[in-house]
Structure 1
Amino acid sequence: MSENDVRALVVYESMFGNTERVAAAVRDGLERVVDTELIRVDRCPADLPADVRLLVVGGPTHALSMSRASTRADATSQGDVVMPAATGIREWIEALEAGKERTVVATFDTRITKVRRLPGSAAKAAAKALRKQGFKAITDPSSFYVDESVGPVSDAELARAREWGELVGHELQRFINPIRRHPLRSGR
């Protein structure tokens, strides 16, 4: 498989637009390394296209994990919601049907700045759910911070998300094209 046959897919859930902004920044970083598409979770099919070798999944941390219908309903009551409350990354991951044998994953979440030290993370929960589905993670989950539930997300966090996306893209390249050891340098 050539590098031209490889692309990344960033799938996100966002209630107030902050996770969407982080996902777009992650996509921008990935684009420096690999062709990347950004898609909202409720618009993403459960059957991954064959050329998707990297799946990046992101969502907001709700009640110490991925959102559920009840936490999305609670969020809807807090303000202007930009995403329908019916579908989240939790349900989408459970519905994934194909791609496990050829696709590696990375996960991220958004969290509120003032509760940085609370346990629980949508990114960690998503990584665990994806592992249960048979996917392999190529990096540790990452968190990006917003000032309040409704945001905003700072420019510094968006820059950090772009940097993380680029790093994940380089990890994908190392995964796809592992360095072959030269027989004389391998100690043989």
Structure 2
Amino acid sequence: MRSRVVYESMFGNTAAVAEAIAAGLRTQGTVEVLTVAEAANTPAPTVDLLVVGGPTHAFGLSRKRTRLDAAEHTDKSIAVEIGIREWLDAALPVTTGRRAAAFCTKVAKPPWLPGSAAHGAGKRLRRLGYELADDPADFLVDGMTGPLADGELARAQAWAERLAYTEHDRLAHRH
């Protein structure tokens, strides 16, 4: 099985989750991990599973304004011109039968805080013609800049292992 993980990350938390997801997917095949800026300059994926994720900003996918705001809270270089929202909005529709999954990082507290970038990415993926391989997944961070909540990297890897097994099994039975 061939997979591609495309992510955007401001403080390194979503990048760490993307790498944990890639490790889980590698149990059943090869994985390419790209930042959204790299993906914007790479041909559309010809993969069995596309996994897309980013941080939750203002209750959903980031926007240029929210990325600029995030850049004020870190010394790291942040790509502010393109995020998952813009990348998916510029993508071409896919042929039927293509599969994808969406994830995000979001602040753990307060627990009632609404919004999820994963749900927004999932909606955009479905509009492009992808069938979602699983419900969008939220991984929690303690505070805006992190760190990830305890156990979230293991949970991300386990989620991806389950996805990989399910998709590998689905592909094996399709042929």
TM-score normalized with structure 1 length: 0.85
Q: Of residues 17, 21, 40 in structure 2, which corresponds to 1:26?
A: 21
- Map of 2:74 onto structure 1: 79
Alignment-mate amino acid for residue 88 of structure 1: G
Q: Of residues 156, 165, 171 in structure 2, which corresponds to 1:170?
A: 165
Structure 1 contact 14–82 (Cα < 8 Å) conserved? no
The alpha carbon displacement at 1:94 in A equals 0.9
- Give the Cα–Cα distance (whole angstroms) in 2 for the partners of residues 64 and 179 of structure 1: 38
Give structure 2 stretches of 5+ with no counterpart.
none
How large is the Cα RMSD of the aligned pairs? 1.9
Q: Of residues 152, 159, 162 in structure 1, which corresponds to 2:147?
A: 152
Q: Of residues 10, 15, 19 in structure 2, which corresponds to 1:15?
A: 10
Aligned residue pairs, count: 174
Kindly indicate whether residue 50 of structure 2 is the aligned counterpart of residue 48 of structure 1.
no
- Map of 1:143 onto structure 2: 138
- Give the Cα–Cα distance (whole angstroms) in 2 for the partners of residues 124 and 101 of structure 1: 21
- Give the Cα–Cα distance (whole angstroms) in 1 for the partners of residues 39 and 64 of structure 2: 18
Kindly indicate whether residue 112 of structure 2 is the aligned counterpart of residue 121 of structure 1.
no
Percent identical pairs in the alignment equals: 42
The alpha carbon displacement at 1:135 in A equals 1.0
User: How do 1:78-117 residues align onto structure 2 when only pairs under 5 Å count?
Assistant: 78-97=73-92, 99-117=94-112
- Give the Cα–Cα distance (whole angstroms) in 2 for the partners of residues 90 and 130 of structure 1: 10
Structure 1 contact 54–105 (Cα < 8 Å) conserved? yes
Structure 1 contact 17–82 (Cα < 8 Å) conserved? no
Residues 138/122 of structure 1: CA separation in 2 closer, same or farther (3 Å cut): same
Of structures 1 and 2, the larger Rg is shown by 1
The alpha carbon displacement at 1:95 in A equals 1.3
The alpha carbon displacement at 1:154 in A equals 4.0
- Map of 1:3 onto structure 2: none
Greater Cα offset, 11-20 or 145-154 = 145-154
Give structure 1 stretches of 5+ with no counterpart.
1-5, 181-188
- Give the Cα–Cα distance (whole angstroms) in 2 for the partners of residues 77 and 14 of structure 1: 14
The alpha carbon displacement at 1:14 in A equals 0.2
The alpha carbon displacement at 1:48 in A equals 2.0
